[in-house]
Every structure is written in structure tokens, then in C-alpha cells.
């Protein structure tokens, strides 16, 4: 069991590629931390520095209370599970699980105990005599996780371990890894580019972009209070709607004006948004806060006038794609609400969870909330 601490960690590859920059991150003992972000943002690089597979250019990494910058990977007391989990094809599952322990000269009885324990935990006890080619993708993935478990490491590192599996198997393994975390109660760092995986698995999530941490928070905090426009757009499906416009002064108050629609700024936000008067700003509202049954119930809610482009019935709800003439956006409507392509609608906006973003810095404007 161990906490993992990254203190101003950088990775600069030859050719001056800054793959990870000023990474300050504390992963608590027992925590399930997810690193998420688009391709090339530095997730694997960061994880590989913790694993010792990549040299640290600058900064320090501590596991437990030991600085591990110069500790070789095998002595770091961590285990890593990769996307390409390359099992030894000529060995049985049993031997695949036992192999790492044999190399480390564990006694036969201890190896057997650990292999059977891991097989029980992962529900692969029936498969121990099979070879990898006789396993399904999900079963192979479980063996790969098993190889990490038998080592009883103080921390597990996962780099996109589910991306080779089909969608259904991914959802199943996602749940199993979550269960495994509860069962083993060990620190886990999990890399994915899939925001749904991040949201459903993480105790906390670190969102990265261009080698930089954008925000570290619990899933619901990221969702409700994104630090900037990138996080707001990255977390959540369908993504948050962004409307570019400006703040105008009208009758002594402020109004957000998109061009096609206008929303009066609530009194308690006027101070915070005053600095943007006569300036551009970006308004953000999630699909479930525009035209949803909840939004429509709010008395006097402001409205967005827009035309329906595409209707996607999902069964339990309908994704309605609309445009204001300037902005295209999505409304997550009640499945029973009538909406037809080409129709003009006035959609209520629930402001309680909406945001404004500074168009220069992309930062979320801090607004007082009750
Ligand atoms: N050995 C290397 N030499 C030079 N540049 C590298 C090397 N490895 C990675 N990079 C660069 O560093 C950046 C971060 O790469 P990294 O593999 O950490 O991204 P990632 O977030 O894991 O992406 P993905 O989701 O595609 O796996 C990328 O721009 C990549 O091209
Ligand atoms: Mg990667």
C-alpha cells in the first residue's frame, strides 16, 4: 500500500518534445486515480515514468516514502498492465501467472498459493491449464491482470488495458476492475482516453491536455465544475454545448447575446460578469440543461430559439440536434417530446448548472452559486 507523489515532473523527449510538463499530482494510498485526455496528451509518458520505463527529465516521484527516480523498475514494488498484454503463447495460464514469481525465485508452494488466489479473484480458476490462444479477449485480459496481482504490488498501473476489447466486454471488465480495486484495496493509476471509463471508474480523475494537467477532481466535481472549456467539453457525452456571444448592457442589467437568442444575466452573477460587458464570452450548457423536462419546469427560464436539424431517439430519451443560425447544439429531451426535423423550437435553459468561459484563457468564470 502506498501513496504516489509526482512533484514538478517533466518529460522532455529528444527533439525537445515536452510530453509531460510540471506534473504535480498526489495519488493517495488506496486511491483509484484515472489519467484521461486525448491522444498524445502525455498520459502514458506520465505512467511510464512512475513505472520506471521512462526516465524522468525533471522533478521527483515518490512511492510510499521512497524517492524512486533512480530505482530500477523491478524494485519499485508496482505492477503494470498494458493494452497489449502479450501473454506467453506457449505457456499455460498457470505458468503465465507463475512466471514472474519464478523469475524472482519465490518458493513453489508460495507461487502456487498466489496463483490460485489470483485465479479465484479473477474467476479464471477453471482456465489454468489452457493456453492463451484458447481464451477469449476478456479472459486473456484477466490473465494479464492476474500476472500483476500475484506480485502483490503496493500500486497497480494500467495503461488502456481495455482498449482491445469489444464494447460489451469493456463495460464488463470496467466493472470487474472496479470490484478488484475494492477487493485488493490497493492504489491504482489507470490511463484511458475514454471519458466514460474515467467517470465510472475513478475515485478522482486527472484531465490532461498537451502534457499539462487541466484539473484533478472527483468525477461529479469535474462534471459540475469544470475548470476550463477543455474539461467542460471533454467530460460528458454528448458534450457540453458552447455558444459564442458577448455580454451587452441592457436596462441597467447585463444580457448574454448570442445573436440568435439572448439570456438575461441573473442578478447574483452581474458582478462577476461585469468585466465582460461589451466583450466576447462563451456560454456553456449541457444537453440535459437545454430543452429537457427539468429545464422546461423552471418558471421564467430563459429560452433558446433554434431549428431542429437531426433527431436521434435513444429509447429512454431523445438527442435533438439543433441550430440557432449560428451555433449547433444538442438537447437531451424527454423521449415523448415531439420534435421534427425543420421545426422551430423555443427551448428552456436551466441556468443553475450553466457556465461562462473566458474566450482568451478558456477558463471558467467563477460565479456565485447557491
Ligand atoms: N519515445 C518518444 N520520443 C519522442 N516523442 C515521444 C516518445 N514517446 C512519446 N512521445 C510524444 O510524447 C507525447 C505524449 O505521448 P504519450 O504516449 O504519453 O501520449 P498518450 O496521452 O499516452 O496518448 P495515447 O492516448 O495516444 O496513448 C506525444 O506527442 C508523443 O508523440
Ligand atoms: Mg498512451
Based on the fold, state whether residues 168 and 286 are members of the same structural domain: no
Based on the fold, state whether residues 286 and 169 are members of the same structural domain: no
The phi, psi pair for 312, rounded to 5°, reads -120, 95
The ligand minimizing its distance to the Cα of 206 is: 1
Based on the fold, state whether residues 112 and 11 are members of the same structural domain: yes
Domain-located, residue 364? no
Domain-located, residue 363? no
SS3 content of the chain, % helix, strand, coil (to 5): 30, 35, 35
Distances (CA, A) of 136 to 92, 140, 370: 14, 6, 51
Three-state secondary structure call for residue 304: strand
CA 193 to ligand 1: nearest atom: 25
- The CATH number covering residue 211 comes to 3.40.50.300
Based on the fold, state whether residues 215 and 328 are members of the same structural domain: no
Domain-located, residue 362? no
CA 279 to chain centre: 32
Contact yes or no for 133/89 (Cβ under 8 A):
yes
Determine the structural domain holding residue 119 and report its residue range: 4-234
CA 44 to ligand 1: nearest atom: 22
**Boundary (domain end) residue, out of 198, 218, 234:** 234
- The CATH number covering residue 290 comes to 2.40.50.140
Based on the fold, state whether residues 225 and 267 are members of the same structural domain: no
Q: Which of 18, 34, 45 to mutate to test the pocket of ligand 1 (most atoms within 8 A of CB)?
A: 45
Site of grid cell 484521461: 36
Is there an atom of ligand 1 within 6 Å of 40 CB?
yes
Radius of gyration of the chain from Cα atoms? 25
**Boundary (domain end) residue, out of 234, 263, 294:** 234
Three-state secondary structure call for residue 16: coil
Q: Please tell me the predicted confidence (pLDDT) of residue 85.
A: 72
Based on the fold, state whether residues 230 and 246 are members of the same structural domain: no
Q: Please tell me the predicted confidence (pLDDT) of residue 342.
A: 97
> Nearest-CA neighbor of 28 among 207, 291, 216?
216
pLDDT by residue, tens only, the chain of 370 residues: 689 999 999 999 999 999 999 999 999 999 999 999 999 999 999 999 999 999 999 999 999 999 999 999 989 999 998 877 789 999 999 999 999 999 999 999 999 999 999 999 888 999 999 999 999 888 998 999 999 999 999 999 999 988 888 888 888 889 989 999 999 889 999 999 999 999 999 999 999 999 999 999 999 999 999 999 999 999 999 999 999 999 999 988 999 999 999 999 999 999 999 999 999 999 999 999 999 999 999 999 999 999 999 999 999 999 999 999 999 999 999 998 888 999 999 999 999 999 999 999 999 999 998 7
**C-alpha 162 – ligand 1 centre gap (Å):** 19
Based on the fold, state whether residues 193 and 126 are members of the same structural domain: yes
Domain-located, residue 367? no
**C-alpha 191 – ligand 2 centre gap (Å):** 7
Tell me: the pLDDT tens digits for 250-279? 988 999 999 999 999 999 999 999 999 999
Based on the fold, state whether residues 31 and 79 are members of the same structural domain: yes
The ligand minimizing its distance to the Cα of 19 is: 1
Based on the fold, state whether residues 210 and 246 are members of the same structural domain: no
Looking at the 3D structure of the chain, how many domains does it have? 2
Helices of type H across the chain: 43-51, 93-103, 108-122, 137-149, 167-184, 195-201, 219-224, 229-234, 270-274, 293-297
Contacts for 370 with CB less than 8 Å, ≥ 6 apart: 268
Q: DSSP string covering 193-226, please?
A: S-HHHHHHH-SEEEEEETTEEEEEE-HHHHHHS-
Q: Please tell me the predicted confidence (pLDDT) of residue 83.
A: 78
Contact yes or no for 228/214 (Cβ under 8 A):
yes
Distance CA 156, CA 189 (A): 6
Based on the fold, state whether residues 267 and 227 are members of the same structural domain: no
Q: Which of 17, 23, 190, 192 to mutate to test the pocket of ligand 1 (most atoms within 8 A of CB)?
A: 17
Q: In angstroms, how far apart are the furthest CA atoms of the chain?
A: 83
Q: Residue 72 has which C-alpha cell? A: 530500477
Distances (CA, A) of 256 to 224, 244, 250, 317, 330: 21, 10, 10, 29, 19
Question: 311-343 burial, b if ≥16 CB within 10 A, otherwise e?
Answer: beeeeebbbbbbebeebebbbbbeeeeebeeee
Distance CA 195, CA 177 (A): 16
Domain-located, residue 18? yes
Is there an atom of ligand 1 within 6 Å of 45 CB?
yes
**Boundary (domain end) residue, out of 234, 261, 283:** 234
Amino acid at each position: 500500500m502506498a501513496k504516489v507523489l509526482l512533484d514538478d515532473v517533466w518529460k522532455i523527449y529528444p527533439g525537445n518534445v515536452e510530453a509531460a510538463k510540471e506534473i504535480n499530482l498526489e495519488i493517495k494510498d488506496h486511491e483509484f486515480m484515472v489519467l484521461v485526455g486525448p491522444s498524445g496528451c502525455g498520459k502514458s509518458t506520465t505512467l511510464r515514468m512512475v513505472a520506471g520505463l521512462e526516465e524522468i527529465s525533471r522533478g521527483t516521484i515518490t512511492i510510499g516514502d521512497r524517492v524512486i527516480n533512480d530505482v530500477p523498475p523491478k524494485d519499485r514494488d508496482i505492477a503494470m498492465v498494458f493494452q497489449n498484454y502479450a501473454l506467453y503463447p506457449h505457456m499455460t495460464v498457470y505458468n503465465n501467472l507463475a512466471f514472474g514469481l519464478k523469475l524472482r525465485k519465490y518458493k513453489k508452494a508460495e507461487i502456487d498459493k498466489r496463483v490460485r488466489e489470483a485465479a479465484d479473484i479473477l474467476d479464471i480458476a477453471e482456465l489454468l491449464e489452457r493456453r492463451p490462444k484458447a481464451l477469449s479477449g476478456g479472459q486473456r485480459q484477466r490473465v494479464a491482470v492476474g500476472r500483476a496481482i500475484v506480485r502483490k504490488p503496493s500500486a497497480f498501473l494500467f495503461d488502456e488495458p481495455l482498449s482491445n476489447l469489444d464494447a460489451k466486454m469493456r463495460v464488463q471488465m470496467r466493472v470487474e476492475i472496479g470490484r478488484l480495486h475494492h477487493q485488493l484495496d490497493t492504489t491504482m493509476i489507470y490511463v484511458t482516453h475514454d471519458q466514460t471509463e474515467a467517470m465510472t471508474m475513478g475515485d478522482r480523475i486527472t484531465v490532461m491536455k498537451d502534457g499539462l494537467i487541466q484539473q484533478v477532481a472527483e468525477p461529479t466535481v469535474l462534471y459540475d465544475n469544470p475548470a476550463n472549456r477543455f474539461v467542460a467539453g471533454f467530460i460528458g457525452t454528448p458534450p457540453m454545448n458552447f455558444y459564442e456571444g458577448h455580454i451587452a448592457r441592457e436596462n441597467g442589467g447585463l444580457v448574454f447575446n448570442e445573436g440568435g437568442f439572448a439570456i438575461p444575466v441573473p442578478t447574483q452573477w452581474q458582478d462577476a460578469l461585469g468585466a465582460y460587458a461589451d466583450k466576447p464570452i462563451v456560454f456553456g450548457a449541457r444537453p440535459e440543461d437545454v430543452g429537457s423536462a427539468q429545464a422546461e419546469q423552471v418558471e421564467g427560464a430563459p429560452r433558446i430559439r433554434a431549428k431542429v436539424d437531426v433527431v436521434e431517439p435513444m429509447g429512454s430519451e431523445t438527442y435533438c440536434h439543433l441550430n440557432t443560425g449560428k451555433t449547433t447544439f444538442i438537447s437531451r429531451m424527454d423521449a415523448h417530446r415531439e420534435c421534427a426535423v425543420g421545426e422551430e423550437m423555443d427551448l428552456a435553459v436551466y441556468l443553475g448548472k450553466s457556465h461562462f468561459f473566458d474566450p482568451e484563457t478558456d477558463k471558467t468564470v467563477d460565479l456565485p452559486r447557491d
